[in-house]
Amino acid sequence: MKKFLKMLLPVLLTLPFTGEAQNRIEITARLVESDKTLFIQQDIYFKNNSNDTLTQLYFNDWAHSFSSKQSKLGRRFAENYDRRFHLADDYARGASKINTIIGERFSNLSFKRLEDAEDVLEINLLEPLPPGQTTRIKLNYNIRIPDAKFTGYGALDNGDFNLKYWFIAPAVYDGEWHYYSNKNLDDLYMAPTDFSIDFSFKKNYRFINELEQTNATVNEESSFKTVHLEGSSRNNTTIYLRQISEFQITETDDLTVVTNITDDKVIAEREALIIDKISHFLVEELGEYPFKQLVISNIDYAENPVYGLNQLPDFLSPFPEDFKYELKILKTAIDNFVDRTLFVNPRDDRWIADGLKMYTMMKYMDHFYPNLKVVGTLNRYWIARQFHLADLEFNEQYNLLYMHMARMNLDQPLTTPSDSLIKFNKNIANAYKAASGINYLSEYLSDAIIEESLDEFYLENKLKLTSSKTFEAILRSKTDKDLDWFFEDFVNSRKIIDYKFNEVKREGDSIKIEIKNKTESQMPIPVYGMNKDKIISKTWVDGFEKEKNINIAGDSIDRVVINAEGFVPEYNRRNNYKKVNPFLGVNKPFQFKLLQDLEDPSKNQVFFMPVFEYNFYDGLKLGAKMYNKTLLSKAFNYRIEPQYGFKSDKLTGSAGFTYTQNVNEGNLYAIRYGISGSLSSYAPDALYKSYSPFITFGFRTSDFRSDKRQFLTVSNINVYRDESDVITNDDPNYSVFNVRYTNSNPGVINALTYNTDFQLAQKFSKFSVTAKYRKVFLNNRQFDLRLFGGIFLYNDTRSQGDYFGFALDRPTDYLFRYNYYGRSESSGIFSQQLVLAEGGFKSKLDTPFGNEWLTTINTSTTIWNFIHGYADIGLVKNQGDPARFLYDSGIRTVLVEDYFELFFPVYSSNGWEIGQPNYDQKIRFIVTLDLRTMLSLFTRKWY
């Protein structure tokens, strides 16, 4: 069938256009590189192919999306924690300016930019446009080209240009209008369009474009070169202008590939052979490419790379250079090949195109590299082979990366619009889930049915507007099996797959199995009869509710396994193993390993890892951590971490046990139960012991891209302290019941977080509120505001010191929440560590605590670049004394905000601090050395 369809390709390609005309765009453009400006005269011939009469037309003017920091594109950059756009001036951002819009009979047409989408034009027609009719619209406009630093497209610093979305494009109408703003998602939706372009530029530039160049002329007087381009049924006109071109042309038997993806460590002949190999495979799998050349650029690859160990630096990479080059060409060629020929809505219906791309890539790897592991050449080393990660096939990483998001309760349906996807889902997980779903179907139905359905869908809909619904109809027509589970549950929901064995027992020559469905989904699952690691039988069980009994032949079978080959993207495979006659009820062997590894569902894994920590009293702490956490999140985690302090000569450590219950529906998304404990020095020759049972409720909005989170934590902190010669210990042991609520909305432009904290102990009770606000203004100045208010409801500890009091500048941390390096120090470098909590002052004043109440305001604003000025004011109330008004001010240097900062006091209630003795001891610092906290700087834009 596949070969037959490809033989019909030339006929199929003509069918859509013989009975239905399409849009045509004629452009005369002139680039003035010195001004970074395009002057454009454009004619659009819009054909109404619907059954409706149109009175307005809509056009995507995505060059104008750069015009404002408040545009949807600007807000998108801010959501992704990218401040470059917000900090740029107007000239660097670019914009479009409409001069005239003229309709039929040279009449001026009224137009407007949409209020909620300023890069979309609404043009009012003088006369209604009936079905089947065409109207011509003439536009004259200028485009100021943005800097390429924002998206990779625009004006480069060296004078070159990468131009994408550089002209005004008609939106698609198929009974409803499909227009939307640019959000840097590479997802402009265009109907197949014929192009005729005259593009003029300085003659010293090389011009690279995928359209057919039919003519080129040079005006020696003006030094401008004009190229004439033609193209039919196109949706892409990306232009690359180079003063010195790095693009190379490779002619193959199947198509011409133009690319600037190169590798200095791969010789040119080898690059050409790789491109030829990939081109031949793509034509074999997808049919002939309908255009003369395929342009693939390093920007294309950077937008959508192959994620994995191949991205490691050369000295760490487990793959040879030519293979990494091959992956780049393969991924980018597949992406562009499909995007240029399959016209689905890339924002609202991209899953089928993404699935086709990744499934094609998986087939390539299976064909040419069937035995390749995800760790590449590291598999040659004995030490690497001790990890289960080394057993992972290259194509198995796709299930893994999707499951990473499912386990974090951040997965999203494949039908989610791309602008609503978390970045990790948009760039990685959803495409991988789509490909895994197609592979799942291939195993369930048959390879032949999936291959035939994909071929028919792609070849019959090439260069036509189409949708995933067309693929669904084709696939359903090929089988009598019910596929609602796939399209309704797997594609269109967040429902997960999770089956387990309830009971397995031998009955004569057969084995009776009771399977439990732990979720609401009803997706088919394979059950295997195994003898050691050999598959004896395989039985597909269609989806069901609750429990189901099946019988399989029992000859030679010593255990049964659900989803043994792992091609079903199942949420939890650790409960899929059951021995027919288990010894002492143990169905899986225990495995002890040094260092964390990938989850091996056939083993009960226990990991060990050396631990190095430091504090001033214990000195260097050396120990070992025993834990069960794998590279994929799991519900139950434990950690036991004994350590030895070389300075204190004492045994210290910590332990923790947590269980996380993910909730798929509603604002409550996670409940975490746990208990943690620690043993460490809090002063010279003095240990503290603490343990705390807790429960945390996590809430989020229905918009997964939003960073808004709410947490409610209920805990009971129990502390037991040794007596200390340097710390007054009237209350060495205490227990505090704590209820803490946090509402967080972080962001790079606007950030607001507030929390309330209630504490109840035998001798005191207190309540506090903290609010933090950060704003980056359009003039790039930053303003920070923090408010704190705390009051004792009762306090019987006043006569025993300020240990439980509200601190103005340095909390005592009696709950042991903060990562102090020297928590009991009153002098020296560790006493200058600043934890921005409670009062938040930076200067050390003569009333450092309040035993009745405390209110403070902390502010900071930009002076220049990373240098800020700060000021704090507050009221401190102690029993028997009037409330004292205190203040301080100074210079704040922000190296990495909230992680690495220095504070230099200038003037405070102590007077001019700069001129006072020992000024170096007044400087405060914030330093974060915790690896997990520092990693959040890099992961926050992905989740």
Is position 842 within any domain?
yes
| Arithmetic mean of pLDDT, 811-833 | 88
Q: What is the mean pLDDT of residues 869-889?
A: 96
Residue 12 domain-assigned (yes or no): no
C-beta atoms surrounding 706 within 10 Å: 13
Q: Which residue has the higher pLDDT, 898 or 535?
A: 535
| Per-residue three-class SS string for 868-918 | EEEEEEEEEECCCCCCEEEEEEEEEEEEECCCEEEEEEEEECCEECCCCCC
pLDDT of 21 above 80: no
Q: How far is CA 293 from CA 258, 288, 325, 451, 757, in A?
A: 7, 11, 20, 26, 64
pLDDT at 628 over 80: yes
pLDDT at 109 > cutoff 90: yes
Q: Which residue range(s) make up the domain with 754?
A: 748-943
Residues 478 and 510 in one domain: no
Residues 315 and 372 in one domain: no
The reply to whether 803 falls in a domain is: yes
pLDDT for 13 beyond 50: no
Could you tell me if residue 7 is inside a domain? no
Residues 73 and 203 in one domain: yes
| Tally of structural domains, the chain | 6
Closest CA to 765 of 740, 784, 738, 742: 738
13, part of any domain: no
Q: How many residues does the chain have?
A: 943
Tell me the pLDDT tens digit for each residue of 445-503.
999 999 999 999 999 999 999 999 999 999 999 999 999 999 999 999 999 999 999 99
CA distance 448 to 332: 27
Q: Any long-range contacts for 475-479 (C-beta under 8 Å, 24+ apart)?
A: 475/441, 475/449, 475/450, 478/445, 478/449, 478/452, 478/453, 479/445, 479/449
pLDDT of residue 9: 41
Last residue of a domain, one of 585, 608, 626: 585
Output the pLDDT for position 897.
82
What is the pLDDT, as a whole number, of residue 4?
Answer: 42
Give the burial string for 318-337 (b: 16+ CB within 10 Å, else e).
bbeebbbbbbbbbbbbbbbb
Q: What is the C-alpha separation between 371 and 129, in angstroms, rounded? A: 59
Judged against a pLDDT cut of 80, whether residue 89 lies above it is answered with yes
Q: What average pLDDT does this structure show over 580-598? A: 90
Of 341, 361, 377, the position where a domain reaches its end is 341
Confidence class of residue 718 from pLDDT cuts 50, 70 and 90?
A: very high
Average pLDDT over residues 531-553: 94
CB-CB contact of 558 with 580 (8 Å): yes
Instruction: Quickly state the pLDDT bin for 105 (edges 50, 70, 90).
Output: confident
Confidence at residue 931, expressed as pLDDT on a 0 to 100 scale: 63
One domain, residues 42 and 155: yes
In a domain? residue 4: no
**Does residue 871 have a pLDDT over 80?**
yes
The end-to-end CA distance of the chain, in Å, is 43
CATH of the domain at 143: 2.60.40.1730
User: Residue 249, Cβ neighbours under 10 Å: how many?
Assistant: 11
Which residues of 86-223 form beta strands (DSSP E)?
95-102, 111-114, 117-129, 134-144, 154-155, 161-163, 169-170, 172-173, 177-178, 193-202, 206-209, 212-219
Position 855, amino acid? T
Q: Do residues 474 and 510 both lie within one domain?
A: no
- Which pLDDT band, with edges at 50, 70 and 90, does 339 fall under? very high
Tell me if 211 is assigned to some domain. yes
Q: Which two tokens stand for residue 835?
A: 């934890």
Same domain, 811 and 881: yes
Residue 426 per-residue DSSP state:
I
What is the reported pLDDT for 5?
42
726/805 same-domain check? no
| Percent of the chain whose predicted confidence (pLDDT) is above 90 | 82
Give the residue from 345, 358, 343 showing the smallest Cα distance to 398.
358
| Percentage of the chain exceeding pLDDT 70 | 96
C-alpha span between 102 and 47 (Å, rounded): 17
Whole-angstrom Cα distance, residue 631 to residue 627? 12
**What would the pLDDT profile of 131-173 be if each residue is shown by its tens digit?**
999 999 999 999 999 999 999 999 999 999 999 999 999 999 9
Residues facing 432 on adjacent strands: none
Q: What is the DSSP string of 735-787?
A: EEEEEEEEEEE--SSEEEEEEEEEEEESSEEEEEEEEEEEEE-TTS-EEEEEE
- Give pLDDT, residue 188: 97
Same domain, 518 and 638: no
CA–CA distance, 146 with 156 (Å, rounded to integer): 9
Which pLDDT does position 726 carry in this prediction? 75
Mark which of 703, 722, 745 sits at the end of a domain. Answer: 745
915: pLDDT confidence band, cut at 50, 70 and 90? Answer: confident
718 neighbors 690 (Cβ within 8 angstroms): yes
pLDDT for the residue 236: 87
pTM score, whole prediction: 0.90
CA-to-CA dists, residue 37 to 74, 85, 143, 144, 851, angstroms: 21, 19, 6, 5, 65
CB 100, CB 8: distance < 8 Å: no
Residue 2 lies in a domain: no
pLDDT of residue 124: 97
Range name among 80-89, 334-343, 647-656, 839-848 with the lowest pLDDT average: 80-89
Residues in a beta bridge with 641? 654
**DSSP secondary structure letter of residue 613:** E
Judgement on whether residues 844 and 816 belong to the same structural domain of the protein: yes
Residues 488, 573 within the same domain = no
Is residue 72 located within the same domain as residue 168? yes
Examine the domain organization and report whether 789 and 915 are in the same domain.
yes
Report how far Cα 603 is from the mean position of its chain's Cα atoms.
Answer: 30
Q: What is the CATH number of the domain that holds 564?
A: 2.60.40.10
- For the segment 175-217, what is each residue's pLDDT rounded down to a tens digit? 999 999 999 999 999 999 999 999 999 999 999 999 999 999 9
Q: Average pLDDT in the 252-279 region?
A: 95
Residue 15's pLDDT band, with cuts at 50, 70 and 90, is very low
Backbone phi, psi, residue 444, to 5°? -75, -45
Query: Which pair of structure tokens corresponds to residue 629?
Result: 């956490």
Under a CB-based contact definition with an 8 Å cutoff, are residues 372 and 397 in contact? no
How far apart CA 603 and CA 339 sit, in angstroms, is 42
